[in-house]
Amino acid sequence: MPDPVLISVSDVRREIYRASEFAAGEGQPSTDLLGSLFHRAFRMVMDPNEECGWTNVLDRDTLNDSTRLRDEVYSIIIGPRLRENQGILQASASEVLTMWEATGHLCRQVCRLLVNSCEQKLIQYDAGANVWRGAERFSVEEKLTWLVDDPAWSAPVLVSGAADAVWRNPASKSWCVLELKLGSGSREADLAQLCLYHEMLHATMGATIDNAAGRLALWHFQPELKHTYFSGEQTADVKLKLRALIGRVAGVAPGMSTLSPEASQRELGKRLIKVLEQFGPMVTLDSDPVVGPAFLRFHIMPGPGVKVRNILPLGEDVGLQLRLSKPALIRLEEGTLVVDLQRQDRETLLFSEFRPSLPTSPRGNAKLLVGVDLRRQPRYADLSSDCPHILAAGTTGSGKSEWLRMAAASLLATNTDSTLRLMLIDPKRVTFGELEHSPCLLDAGQHARGALLYTPEEAIGGLHRLIELMEERYRLFAEYGVTDLDALGKKASAFHPRIVCFCDEYGNLVAQRKNRDAIEGAINQLGAKARAAGIHLIVATQDPRAQILSPALKTNLGGRVCLRTTSSTQSRMILDQNGAESLLGNGDLFFKTAGEPIRLQAPLLEDTERRELFGPRPSGSKIGI
């Protein structure tokens, strides 16, 4: 039997939402930051080792005091995090309020659960020892795995991840898998995800649980709690579809092609473990490597008692011992510990390969292609939603300018000059020159003002032009009683295109103090309120230093695309963590919005595609994808 293909719950969850057309379904997802903060609050409340954990906040007499529990959650978790990210969240006041109201409902539900468990003697307070007994019945973010196989598949699939919570009654062998959701969602997608955890729990626990006695619980906070429970029998049809979906995600279903690791790549994994063993019995190898276009990813599991922080700094030693020209990149991604090793036979991904799958919409596409993940799935920054502005960085040879052109091409391929207009700031005069005659320039044909700008003075004028357009659109919002560009398009007789400003070599523009104050001030003004007006900034720099990138600028450009940097200090400036200094160059990048960075490969925009997309075309036409 072939070794299993390893995928994560996150991989499956993304496909579940895509397959259920979540974006156009019953609601919109909350922002990543608020969603992760809400889940973190729940995790810490249920953890006996945390300061705000219920066992440390509540005793027998206060077990139903949800206000006390909520206040501790705000003081220790939510308040500090909101203050740290107030710039990113300044345009999301209603979403923040919803999250906070949902937190209160969550604390009330937790207290009700604890009171019921105490009445059933599932938990008991030991007054003598001043501790709660039985808290271990509530397992939060429990690590689960599921080995899935099918005779028609080319290999089995090992799914790994963590459920929000699992509750057990050892006496009756009954149990419940819980999934929390913040904001509106898709019932079909949520049920499919619950079924995934159900199967993973049964596969992990085996005979120690009674499958028939299990339930699936969905707590949906909108912000009031709406809870739904399902039995195993209610989900039989969903589970059949889930297995087929897993086969597609892993690339093992009939008719799907996937890169299987070669013998030499498997051998590299064994050598990796031997190198790490020089530092002690630290890790085990979970599965075959995932073969990405630029690197091999090995999923590893720390040994008992081994701290992850002791493994993370070993990348340079590992790369040297394995005789690689680049250090290994050891990091946590999507809840798992991974080691990325460069491929000696690196592939080049071409933009033309992914162009047919770019998203389209009759009213214009706002999703910008950022790169391609390990499983060759394109990843996008949604300018209209959670990533309205982007700060990009990368040193010489990293592929920064090529990434900017590729990102612009992904928008040009899916829009017309009636749905998209570009402003281009190009101090080097070589990044965007071929777009000089594009009808998608903001002021196409009006060279007196122009939208292809080179000098700091021209950049200042262009940014002020965007501010004027932003304020003009806000006046229209007030006139028509709407709050954003999409709503305006449905009410106003004239259609207003989305405007994207690409700026290369920001550091060159702000070399002189007088220019920096003007340009930074304009960018901060746009970053603070231009999203709703359909105006977006993509600002790139070769030299991400503190003297260039002020805290206010970084706050207002919330999205991050970080290609290779010259030092770990520059990596921290963009990502708030090390790692980008070990990237491989030529489009190897990290993409970050509110959560952890994910590693992607930017496809190369070939000369023929670039000339077709950047050159002149009839006004109002969209080049086919």
Give 577-594 pLDDT, tens digit per residue.
999 999 999 999 999 987
Mean pLDDT in the chain? 85
Please tell me the distance from the alpha carbon of residue 111 to that of residue 115, in angstroms, as a whole number: 6
What would the pLDDT profile of 386-419 be if each residue is shown by its tens digit? Answer: 899 999 999 999 999 999 999 999 999 999 999 9
Check residue 141 and give its pLDDT: 76
Tell me the CB-side half-sphere exposure of residue 159, using CA atoms within 13 A.
Answer: 29
Check residue 620 and give its pLDDT: 57
What would the pLDDT profile of 467-489 be if each residue is shown by its tens digit? Answer: 999 999 999 999 999 999 989 98
- Which residue intervals of the chain bear CATH 3.40.50.300? 372-432+441-613
Q: How confident is the model at residue 365 (pLDDT cuts 50, 70, 90)?
A: very high
The answer as to CATH 3.40.50.300 being correct for domain 372-432+441-613 is yes
- Which residue intervals of the chain bear CATH 3.30.980.40? 264-342
Residue 142 has pLDDT above 60, yes or no: yes
Q: How confident is the model at residue 255 (pLDDT cuts 50, 70, 90)?
A: low
Choose the most confident range, by mean pLDDT, from 17-21, 54-58, 517-521: 517-521
E strand map for 454-511: 498-503
Residue 88 has pLDDT above 90, yes or no: no
- Which residue intervals of the chain bear CATH 3.90.320? 5-250
* Alpha-helical runs (H) found in 315-399: 315-321, 351-354
Q: How confident is the model at residue 625 (pLDDT cuts 50, 70, 90)?
A: very low
| Contact criterion met (CB below 8 Å) for 158 and 152 | no
Residue 80 has pLDDT above 80, yes or no: yes
Question: Whole-prediction pTM value?
Answer: 0.70
| 264-342: CATH class | alpha beta
Non-local CB neighbours of 413 within 8 Å, separated by 6+ positions = 355, 358, 613, 622, 623, 625
Mean pLDDT value of segment 535-541:
97
Torsion sign over Cα 365, 370, 371, 374: negative
Check residue 596 and give its pLDDT: 81
Non-local CB neighbours of 558 within 8 Å, separated by 6+ positions = 87, 88, 387, 388, 389, 593, 594
Q: How confident is the model at residue 220 (pLDDT cuts 50, 70, 90)?
A: confident
3-state secondary structure of 113: helix
Check residue 37 and give its pLDDT: 87
| Domain with residues 5-250, CATH architecture | Alpha-Beta Complex (3.90)
| Contact criterion met (CB below 8 Å) for 506 and 548 | yes
Residue 169 has pLDDT above 80, yes or no: no
Mean pLDDT value of segment 362-387:
90
Non-local CB neighbours of 572 within 8 Å, separated by 6+ positions = 578
Closest C-alpha among 504, 447, 494 to residue 473: 494
